[in-house]
Structure 1
Amino acid sequence: MTTQIQPNQNSNPETVKPKQHFEILDGLRGIAALAIVVFHFMEIVYPPNENFIAHGFLAVDFFFCLSGFVIAYAYHDRIGKMTLKEFFKLRLIRLHPLVIFGSILGLLTFIFDPFSNHFQNYETGKLILVIVSSLLLIPFPAMPDRYFNLFGLSAPAWSLFWEYIANICYALFLHKLSRRILFLLTILAGAGICFISNRAGGSLMGGWSGETFWDGFGRISYSFLAGMLIYRSNWIIESKLGFVGLSILMLLALLMPFTSWNWLSEPVVVLLYFPLLIVLGAGAKLSESFRKLCVFFGKISYPLYMTHYAVMWIFAGYYAKYKPDASQLTFIIIIGTLLLLGFAYLTMVFYDTPVRKYLTERRKKI
């Protein structure tokens, strides 16, 4: 059964009730963030064909699609009533505090890494450039010991860079497009996903490094546009899957084996499967027993995503030095993931939420 998001009485047909919230989609965002943490632990140890969550990186494409849906949902009916400056302030307040925190955390773990002395190999001038570029979210793939990540101090920030680009494009012109033009752009971007997969030998893992920089553009272009299109077209399917059912569907994609068919399976997941999950998630019914969990996952997902990778560099050094066996690794990954979840919660409570509240109050006074 298909239903439409109901508009406000005093707004156009493509707007929604401002208090409506999609908790199941928040919950799925949290599942995706946890999957990325486990994926990053595993990829340090095992090659893709031995990694049980080898496609965990595709969770980023789910983030991009969900972001397009949420941005369109939150701003479509009011962006015409605000200035570009106001829009950008709102987005900066929402996103940038954790960009800064992740950069500082990455710097501290880089300097005090007990298993690596790479810090000593960097001249002061170069390190300053690395720090400034990370704080300002300017790509600077200049750290060879970190595989020329766009942001060596905060590796996940590469996707935030493209989120910023998508937000800028949304504010400048994407929100003005008709559904027909939006659909055509999405189709064109979908062709780009297929091109990227083919050029990269059947993988959509790029975007995080200087060498694969433009792959990130392709990945954000399709998924963000697809998310926008879902909202603008009111594609909502009511279902009884609930949070558990949709979480299983999400994990099926991320746990998909790494095979010679990646050239087909990965684009299918990004082009069709993830948008379908958004459509189903927006229309699914959430039982009260899972509501608090979904809200928590939604709140913790971004802090977890932006803080976890600093530990991954330390873990990589530890693994290279001590080569723990499978049972030890299992223990480390489980405990490490739980500790990272706890640290993300503390970051949210004592840093992100208070800082955003303060900045929001300041914005209202200016």
Structure 2
Amino acid sequence: MNNNQLGTRPHYQLLDGLRGVAAIIVVCFHLAEPLASSHLDNLVNHGYLAVDFFFLLSGFVIGYAYDGRWDNLTIGGFLRRRLVRLQPLVILGMTLGAIGFYFTDSTLWPLIHTVPVWKLILVMLIGYTLLPLPLSMDIRGWQEMHPLNSVGWSLFFEYIANLFYALGLRKLSNKALAGFVVLAGAVLVHFALTSPNGDVAGGWTLNAEHMRIGLIRTLFPFFAGLLLSRVARPASINYAFVWSSLLVAAVLLMPRLGGAERLWVNGLYEAFCIIVVFPLIVYIGASGVVPTQREAKLCQFLGNLSYPLYMTHYVLVYFYVAWISNHKGITIAQAWPYALLTFSGAIVLAYASLKLYDEPVRAWLRKKLN
């Protein structure tokens, strides 16, 4: 932890670093996804579980940062702080997605050039609010609530979790919160074991099924993270960043389990990771000691980069996916230079977004809203 800011609680630097590690693996997951023949053989098979990890991290950090401040904090003040933190990059991601929309020429999206400009602008403006779009407004054809920036769905559910927390669940005692978390965990296990796909993936379409999946994926990890922030007593663990980063990578890179015949095996693995392994990783990260200035700077860099990387990388992935779809049968050996170029571009775009847009805009908003 770092406590070099006067008047603030100690800051969990290692958790920032872990968020960056997970964001990088998300990019790798999206680059490997179009090269897989099905959801059973993706090279980065469980990369989508990073979203569930982000939810748990978010719940932990929100509880740690805000649980003890409600005597001097209003619901409106809390929501303003969350909007300042999250919304600028939501707007940037949607804007970049709209700019790149007509340039992603692909056999996957043969009709996007027929979308009128007024409809593109309307989709972009609604995207700024993160309100989910109905299927009739899905201009890309992937059945997504945010067709200009695919990852927007998880921010929609992040806001829902923040609203639940601010409007009432923050008032639960630890015992009541534990009961809620156990119930949410039981629902998660049931869903994971009975999912027709054998996994917890879903939440990005505005229909009853995906809304249910999105809520299931949000409620347990977010409020388990909140509970963990209240009851955990961090120890002092050496090499915590190394061990916790390896655990994150191991979970997200794990090959598909059970195959097409025993889908429940993979579902059980994912439920176990979300319910047991992810809280353990966060506990290790919260217990870690930053041994050197170099490691502290690495964690700070990864933490600062994580959210911009998550919110802007898919803008470039659209071009990459379009290129893959226009070269049927391409192998990983042939595609890796383009994947590396896209990955490098995503890192550069994220850093530029952070320094040239996100940090200045957030500083301006804080000055205006305080």
TM-score relative to the length of structure 1:
0.91
1:282-361 to 2 correspondences below 5 Å: 282-288=286-292, 289-323=294-328, 324-361=330-367
Residue 76 of structure 1: how far off its partner (Å): 0.9
Residue 335 of structure 1: how far off its partner (Å): 2.7
Out of 133, 136, 151, the residue aligned to residue 140 of structure 1 is 133
1:192-211 to 2 correspondences below 5 Å: 192-201=187-196, 202-211=198-207
Q: Judging changes above 3 Å, is the alpha-carbon distance between structure 1 residues 199 and 140 closer, same or farther for their aligned structure 2 residues? A: farther
Instruction: Look up the match of 1:32.
Output: 22
* Secondary structure of 1:49's aligned partner: coil
**Aligned positions, number:** 349
Structure-1 separation of matches of 2:340 and 2:120: 33
Residue 123 of structure 1: how far off its partner (Å): 4.1
- CA displacement, residues 53-86 of structure 1 (integer Å, 9 cap, x when unaligned): 1001101111000000000111111123122221
Structure-1 separation of matches of 2:333 and 2:69: 53
- CA displacement, residues 95-129 of structure 1 (integer Å, 9 cap, x when unaligned): 00001001001111112224455332324554344
Out of 251, 256, 259, the residue aligned to residue 257 of structure 2 is 259
Paired residues of 1:79 and 1:171 also in contact (CA < 8 A): no
Structure-1 separation of matches of 2:233 and 2:122: 45
* Secondary structure of 2:22's aligned partner: helix
Structure-2 separation of matches of 1:152 and 1:145: 6
Instruction: Look up the match of 1:11.
Output: none
Which amino acid in structure 2 is aligned with residue 234 of structure 1? A
Paired residues of 1:79 and 1:87 also in contact (CA < 8 A): no
Q: Does 2:66 correspond to 1:75?
A: yes
Paired residues of 1:141 and 1:151 also in contact (CA < 8 A): no
Instruction: Look up the match of 1:154.
Output: 149
Instruction: Look up the match of 1:90.
Output: 81
Q: Which runs of 5+ in 1 are unaligned?
A: 6-16
Percent identity between the two aligned chains? 37
Structure-2 separation of matches of 1:121 and 1:215: 32
RMSD: 1.8
Which amino acid in structure 1 is aligned with residue 308 of structure 2? P
Runs of 4+ in 1 over 6 A off after TM superposition: none
TM-score relative to the length of structure 2:
0.90
Instruction: Look up the match of 1:13.
Output: none
- CA displacement, residues 271-319 of structure 1 (integer Å, 9 cap, x when unaligned): 1100110111100112213110100000000000000111122111111
Structure-2 separation of matches of 1:165 and 1:337: 30
Structure-1 separation of matches of 2:347 and 2:132: 27
Out of 34, 40, 47, the residue aligned to residue 44 of structure 1 is 34
- CA displacement, residues 248-278 of structure 1 (integer Å, 9 cap, x when unaligned): 1111101111122202100000011001101
Which amino acid in structure 1 is aligned with residue 362 of structure 2? R
Instruction: Look up the match of 2:4.
Output: none
Instruction: Look up the match of 1:184.
Output: 179
- CA displacement, residues 309-350 of structure 1 (integer Å, 9 cap, x when unaligned): 111221111111124432231222223212211110000000
Between stretches 47-56 and 126-135, larger displacement belongs to 126-135
Between stretches 192-201 and 131-140, larger displacement belongs to 192-201
- CA displacement, residues 39-65 of structure 1 (integer Å, 9 cap, x when unaligned): 011111113333221001101111000
Which amino acid in structure 2 is aligned with residue 320 of structure 1? S
Residue 87 of structure 1: how far off its partner (Å): 1.2
Residue 214 of structure 1: how far off its partner (Å): 1.8
Structure-1 separation of matches of 2:319 and 2:115: 18
Structure-1 separation of matches of 2:25 and 2:82: 25
Instruction: Look up the match of 1:221.
Output: 219
Structure-1 separation of matches of 2:117 and 2:232: 53
Between stretches 70-79 and 237-246, larger displacement belongs to 237-246
Residue 362 of structure 1: how far off its partner (Å): 0.8
Q: Does 2:261 correspond to 1:279?
A: no
Q: Which runs of 5+ in 2 are unaligned?
A: 2-6, 259-264
Q: Judging changes above 3 Å, is the alpha-carbon distance between structure 1 residues 199 and 276 closer, same or farther for their aligned structure 2 residues? A: same
Out of 38, 57, 75, the residue aligned to residue 66 of structure 1 is 57
* Secondary structure of 1:112's aligned partner: coil
* Secondary structure of 2:51's aligned partner: helix
Paired residues of 2:14 and 2:286 also in contact (CA < 8 A): yes
Structure-2 separation of matches of 1:36 and 1:182: 30
Which amino acid in structure 2 is aligned with residue 40 of structure 1? H
